[in-house]
Structure formats: structure tokens, C-alpha cells
A and B are shown apart, each in its own frame.
Chain A
Amino acid sequence: GAGVSQSPRYKVAKRGQDVALRCDPISGHVSLFWYQQALGQGPEFLTYFQNEAQLDKSGLPSDRFFAERPEGSVSTLKIQRTQQEDSAVYLCASSQGSINEQFFGPGTRLTVL
């Protein structure tokens, strides 16, 4: 069956632009996670949804970062007024429940010039 998909796979933005990154989780998965992976580092948690409810956004680095999952399936991570330090791979993962295995998408590589 289909896994977690993310689009676009690559995004180049000029500093100050807004970007939107999309995640399509595995059908029926209740939980959805966003992680940020800087070059040469491990992924770092950004935010977590259970269905449409955003239960944890403690990892969002600033108020320029915003995530939503309005219908409990597809999620969008939005970054406003992008900065160079936002350059990273953004990974989305989904799971059947909060304690189950997380399945990761291929990520979106964001480069801010």
C-alpha cells in the first residue's frame, strides 16, 4: 500500500518568502508528526497531531512556523518569512496511534537563499 508522501520533494525559497509543505499520511493513521533535520544532524521534533487536534507544538522554533491538519488527514507545515537557518529537510511521519511505529515520508528539502 501507499506510504507517507510529501510534496514538494525540493523547495528553493528566497529569504523572506513564505512556503507551504504538504504531508499525506498513511490512510487511517491517527497520529501525524513533523520533524526538522538539519544537515548532518538527527531529526528534531516540531509538532504532533492526533486527528485534527494539535496536541504538542513545543518543537516549533518560532512563531513563523505553523502547522495544521484541518480534516485529520493531510497536514501542511507553513513557514512564514523564511530565513537561511530554516534550510533543512522536513520529515513527516504517521502512526496508527501515539505509541505505535512511526512511518516516515521521504522529506522535503528546503533551501533558503
Chain B
Amino acid sequence: GNSVTQMEGPVTLSEEAFLTINCTYTATGYPSLFWYVQYPGEGLQLLLKATKADDKGSNKGFEATYRKETTSFHLEKGSVQVSDSAVYFCALSRSAGRRALTFGSGTRLQVQP
């Protein structure tokens, strides 16, 4: 079946540090890949997505590249801010048939001033 594995958190960084949150997946076929962010007390918001191999999704300074050869979709940001503190979820959905999202366990990011 489909599954998503994320690095354990929390990840604690100082402001302006470089961020990497690792995500690997297991899926049949060619899934679409997503990063969602959840701020305290809120629902999940789409951060970025990629629908095919070698696509790069980007938004608000965050980037992730769909790597089919390593089945990975790592999230990166060159300079984090305190406002980036949140829980980040990697997810996948199949490109046909059952398209519900399968989520990773989430990684909490804490950015200190």
C-alpha cells in the first residue's frame, strides 16, 4: 500500500537557518506529492505540490523536488523565520482511482529568534 515517512521532530532552528525536512514515500504508479502546513489550532494548508518526476514545487520560499529514483520529496527553505513555526506534513495521492491523501506523521518546526 501507499505510505509516507517523515523525519521525526521537533526540529529546532534559529531564525535565518537553512531548513530540510526529509520525506520518502512508497507507492505504486506515479503519485502526486504534497507538503501541507498546520499552524496551531488551524486546519492543514497546502504549501506546495508536484505531480510528476523531477517537478519542483515552490511557495513562500519553500521548495521540494519530486525524486522518483530515491522516492523522496524533501522540503527545504534557505532562511526560516519565526512565523514558519508549525507542523509540516508530507502527503501523496494516487494519480488514478482512489485519490485520498496519505499523510506522513508530521514534523514540528520551532524557529527561535
Chains A and B belong together in one complex:
no
